[in-house]
Structure 1
Amino acid sequence: MTKVHYEVLEHDGGWAYKAEGVFSEPFPTKEAALAAAELAAGEQRVSGTSQDIEFEDASGRWHREFEPGTDRPETDVTVK
């Protein structure tokens, strides 16, 4: 199972969370950034609708796959 780690840290004159190398918008307080990170992490775990998806890979080939809505990652949040 995939795991997504959210890290709350000082960033851009305030606080933000970072996941998969991408920063959120800045928040004025550590508490606000932590609340936003916990919300985002929780939303990642919510099951969705099963559906067929199509995507193009780096070599230009198209693929079609079935994506079960129950295939959700584990998440966690830490404060740095």
Structure 2
Amino acid sequence: MVKVTYEIVPHDGGWAYKLGDVYSETFASHDEALEAVRIVVQEQQVGDEPVEISYQDESGKWREEYSDGGDRPEVEIIDRFRPGEASV
């Protein structure tokens, strides 16, 4: 199972959540950023229809996979700025 980790961080004079090196929009408060990432996490847990996926890998070869639509990632929220709310 894939694990996705979001982190709440100060960003551009406010707060954001980030995944790897990618930041969300900037929120005015820590609580707004935390609420936004919680919504994202909830949406990621909704299953989808089965589908065939075609993609080009890093070597340029086309690959096909089947997704049953129910394989949802494990998600964690890291919040070093508010102890006690470190993960979901």
TM-score higher than 0.5: yes
Q: Which runs of 4+ in 1 moved over 6 A?
A: none
Q: Deviations over 1:4-56 (max 9, x none)?
A: 11111111111000113311010000010000011111111211111001001
User: Structure 1: which 5+ runs fail to align?
Assistant: none
TM-score normalised by the chain length of structure 2: 0.83
1:68 corresponds in structure 2 to 68
Given that 1:6 and 1:41 are in contact with CA atoms closer than 8 Å, whether structure 2 keeps it comes out as no
Q: What is the SS of the residue equivalent to 1:33?
A: helix
Given that 1:42 and 1:75 are in contact with CA atoms closer than 8 Å, whether structure 2 keeps it comes out as no
Q: How does 1:1-80 map to 2 (within 5 A)?
A: 1-80=1-80
Given that 1:14 and 1:28 are in contact with CA atoms closer than 8 Å, whether structure 2 keeps it comes out as yes
Aligned identity (percent) is 43
Q: RMSD over aligned Cα, in angstroms?
A: 1.1
**Bigger relative contact order (CA 8 A; separation at least 6):** 1
In 1, the alpha carbon distance for the partners of 2:14 and 2:26 equals 6
User: Structure 2: which 5+ runs fail to align?
Assistant: 81-88
